Structure 1
């Protein structure tokens, strides 16, 4: 897969073991290979999980590394069958604290001394990374070696050298393992550091502006292992140049990139670890490696929305291995994909929401419903959610379950409860200077737009700020050739990437900018509402959609229901489709149900514009969107306006909505808008000319979905503060298109 430019929605799905010299690959392959190694039926599976938040001055503390450890532990125990006793935690809150000596001793004692040939070994590190001078560097490494930074980094001998654990040492530790089934995951990076907008980065800048040097203690440790392994320095260097020592290596950023420590809904986590583990929770079982059925485009955008920083994948497998030719899973019996897993059973249930996308977590609060399932996917009972704290959910059993409910029982989404009064969270960037307070005051007059402080402690959807010289340099580093003028006010992503078409004239006040941006803010709010119903990876409807350039092959995406109905006949997925401006598109939607479904197609542009592509026959009957069982509907229809990709470069998100009943109120709202504007039939419509119309249409859509849910469930299944979205009645599949000029 080609690299994604910095200015686009960016793929937080990579890894960086730059210290060992890795090559870049697609996250799908990373996740699949990781799953394949973990799922092997072996005598023992061992894991060492290291997470460090508690760095001391002058090293900035982090916030999400302990969550990373929780994410990995829940995944390994519940999805891949690790015995909890075989997982050793080395964290700020564990019995073993993450000092340099303790990390190395844990690797030696827990992994090297215990692992036997054929066993599975996982080593995960979340914390700061850095680089030090390499006395025998690899080609193209700039003479540096990537490191893991322990809390006791500072040398006490006054030399200024650092006690980091070098990539050279990690290579030797991996080489010492007796098994080949090794997976190393590093959620850290080696470039820059600090904060940007509402996110932090897991890297340290060079001390004193120069390159750091490792202590003699570190080189002595490497010499000890060279002796134990009977490796000469020449042989050691030869092995390093070939690739990794054992198994599979994953990480989070290339040498010159940043790994984010990002705020989500009530918790912080490493963007890479959260994305990787969620992908593996929802990855279908018993599929060959190249058949990928998880909607990674949406997963990528989940994290990109929280940061907007380039973070590309790097991975390598053991030289000479054939891991990418083998099946993804070897577990027998296979376990189904799931959104959650029970942690504490009883009439009151506690559960882990590791398989839920970050952008929809707000819809998993009070009123959401889950099915409890066994390892074959059979329904055992139902849980009604009552609360959520970060990734931990709380609920109560409904009725009498048909089987035993215990810790480790999987939970699948049935109904999510979208908050009726969901707001757009707008961070007020410090670049506004003394206009922050006046901006906050003006925003109070705009319904459902909430002013937030930018402090890396909470989630913001977008930032309001003023372009300055630092942001200008950053925009150019993203590849933006025509950035906004310095001194102009507009909207940024949470990672301070300028939003196209949102900046005004130089000298405009913050108050005037907000009044100018009122319709745009409501468009962005509507897009946020629409994101809450994206459920392709959890919907039970059997729906397939294909986005095809005219005369080309295109990309196919499917709902979970379709995946499980015909797992061997479905095509492989590509995460993002790259298209040039001027490309004409057709959208094909196939109904694999034995009942009618109704289709709509919407597009969200990189600037927040929301366009209704279909239906566009504003005077037609509601059954114009109907697709009969087994049939395929292709739009646009003959004689209608063509779908043509427009520049500039950026990302478009094309959403296909398939429902079991027509979305009557939403359609009526669209028809009213079309009549008021005089939009002729067959022409797609851009919403947002009127400040509130976009939000009103999305509100009508949620009302339709809620009514559908209540009719199906027979009683109020969500609270009066939420709108129900039933996975048996709706599939919303997100398709990402990268426009490349």
Structure 2
């Protein structure tokens, strides 16, 4: 079909082909009503092929919790978070013969200087608490940054167990990546840290935590090398932020509400910022910049895996809802983003069948998850547009 008259768009969810005369950023599939963010590539014969997956907008079906996956650590029992694979998005891992980044040269011209991102997805291969789909979440986040927010691919560092030894999410590699993320930051820089994996809590002996617990992230080798504590994250990527630099952290893990130890936590119920400064008086502030963190749940909650979004794969609830909201509702404020993600999660839990709820009650399982927003400083989230 000639590209002079239009382009061919294939839905990544149901594979139905459409012919579009006008170029558009988002196309709606006529069969499954999926939203397809468009990135095109013109071949020599001017036929356009879209290597995309779609965003499913139909009502969310049954949710499946993986709360059975628990680990005893220093006497505390915690279910590891589930950030697993999602196939609902517009971004499919590119084939070897085709570079999605090269397919869209306008990204280079539109990309602003001063962008940098660290994306960590930990699957814990060959371990009893393995996560099955973090790779898909990682690639979806990466392509969201590239094609929605115009991050050049070379400024995005990805750590997964599929890569070379220096790109495996070990504790040493994650800490090196975190230092790289903020190293030499300058006014105007936009930095992003994404983590998909397990999270735990540990007793706090420094009187730095209001609830008496430190929150931690679990690298792939955490059993031998240890976890990364919230105090460490604050030291590595919060305190170095100078004036004019903004960091966004997106954390899909259990017990992640205050994972960066930021000084303010927003309450949707009270519609105000709450004081989260350490009782000890320790300084957890930046060097003039701003750090903002979207977390999957409160510090005392567990993040949940769900098959509510596709029938073929589990996915991290928070990651799915976060990206879906951004793609379907452009020009969001921080308040709208946080509220929308929470509402989709609540709808997902509400859709669970009665028998599943009864089993949870009999087994004394708490299946609840409330996304959190924390910040190094108070700002007007009702009127501030979200941008990475």
TM-score range, shorter chain: 0.5 to 0.7
Deviation at 1:107, TM superposition (A): 1.2
Deviation at 1:271, TM superposition (A): 0.7
The answer to whether residue 179 in structure 2 is matched with residue 108 in structure 1 is: yes
Q: Report the equivalent of 1:130.
A: 200
The answer to whether residue 365 in structure 2 is matched with residue 313 in structure 1 is: no
| Residues 182, 191 of structure 2: 8 Å contact kept | no
Summarize the Cα distance change of 1:300–1:67 in structure 2 as closer, same or farther, 3 Å threshold: farther
In 1, the alpha carbon distance for the partners of 2:251 and 2:369 equals: 13
Deviation at 1:317, TM superposition (A): 2.2
Indicate which of 239, 262, 280 corresponds to 2:306: 262
Deviation at 1:291, TM superposition (A): 6.7
Q: Report the equivalent of 2:187.
A: 117
In 1, the alpha carbon distance for the partners of 2:284 and 2:139 equals: 32
Summarize the Cα distance change of 1:288–1:311 in structure 2 as closer, same or farther, 3 Å threshold: closer
In 2, the alpha carbon distance for the partners of 1:166 and 1:328 equals: 27
Deviation at 1:237, TM superposition (A): 4.6
Summarize the Cα distance change of 1:303–1:271 in structure 2 as closer, same or farther, 3 Å threshold: farther
Q: Report the equivalent of 2:292.
A: 248
State the Cα RMSD in Å.
3.7
Indicate which of 246, 254, 272 corresponds to 1:181: 246
Q: Give the 3-state SS of the residue equivalent to 2:119 in structure 1.
A: strand
The answer to whether residue 347 in structure 2 is matched with residue 301 in structure 1 is: yes
Summarize the Cα distance change of 1:149–1:245 in structure 2 as closer, same or farther, 3 Å threshold: farther
Summarize the Cα distance change of 1:300–1:114 in structure 2 as closer, same or farther, 3 Å threshold: farther
- State the structure with bigger RCO (CA 8 A, min sep 6), 1 or 2: 2
The answer to whether residue 338 in structure 2 is matched with residue 282 in structure 1 is: no
In 1, the alpha carbon distance for the partners of 2:377 and 2:250 equals: 18
Q: Report the equivalent of 1:169.
A: 232
- 1:668-710 per-residue CA deviation (whole Å, 9 max, x = no partner) reads xxxxxxxxxxxxxxxxxxxxxxxxxxxxxxxxxxxxxxxxxxx
Q: Give the 3-state SS of the residue equivalent to 2:282 in structure 1.
A: helix
Higher helix share: 1
Structure 1 unaligned spans of 5+? 1-8, 13-39, 156-161, 192-233, 331-741
| Residues 71, 274 of structure 1: 8 Å contact kept | no
- 1:365-397 per-residue CA deviation (whole Å, 9 max, x = no partner) reads xxxxxxxxxxxxxxxxxxxxxxxxxxxxxxxxx
In 1, the alpha carbon distance for the partners of 2:317 and 2:143 equals: 17
In 1, the alpha carbon distance for the partners of 2:334 and 2:299 equals: 28
Deviation at 1:135, TM superposition (A): 2.6
- 1:327-382 per-residue CA deviation (whole Å, 9 max, x = no partner) reads 3459xxxxxxxxxxxxxxxxxxxxxxxxxxxxxxxxxxxxxxxxxxxxxxxxxxxx
Summarize the Cα distance change of 1:42–1:235 in structure 2 as closer, same or farther, 3 Å threshold: farther
Summarize the Cα distance change of 1:295–1:261 in structure 2 as closer, same or farther, 3 Å threshold: closer
Q: Report the equivalent of 1:634.
A: none
| Residues 48, 87 of structure 1: 8 Å contact kept | yes
Summarize the Cα distance change of 1:245–1:52 in structure 2 as closer, same or farther, 3 Å threshold: farther
In 2, the alpha carbon distance for the partners of 1:103 and 1:295 equals: 27
Summarize the Cα distance change of 1:165–1:288 in structure 2 as closer, same or farther, 3 Å threshold: closer
Deviation at 1:154, TM superposition (A): 2.2
Indicate which of 202, 207, 219 corresponds to 1:150: 219
Q: How many residues matched?
A: 241
Deviation at 1:126, TM superposition (A): 0.7
Deviation at 1:138, TM superposition (A): 3.0
Higher strand share: 1
Q: Give the 3-state SS of the residue equivalent to 1:240 in structure 2.
A: coil
* Alignment map for 1:385-464 (pairs within 5 Å): none
In 2, the alpha carbon distance for the partners of 1:253 and 1:172 equals: 22
Q: Report the equivalent of 1:608.
A: none
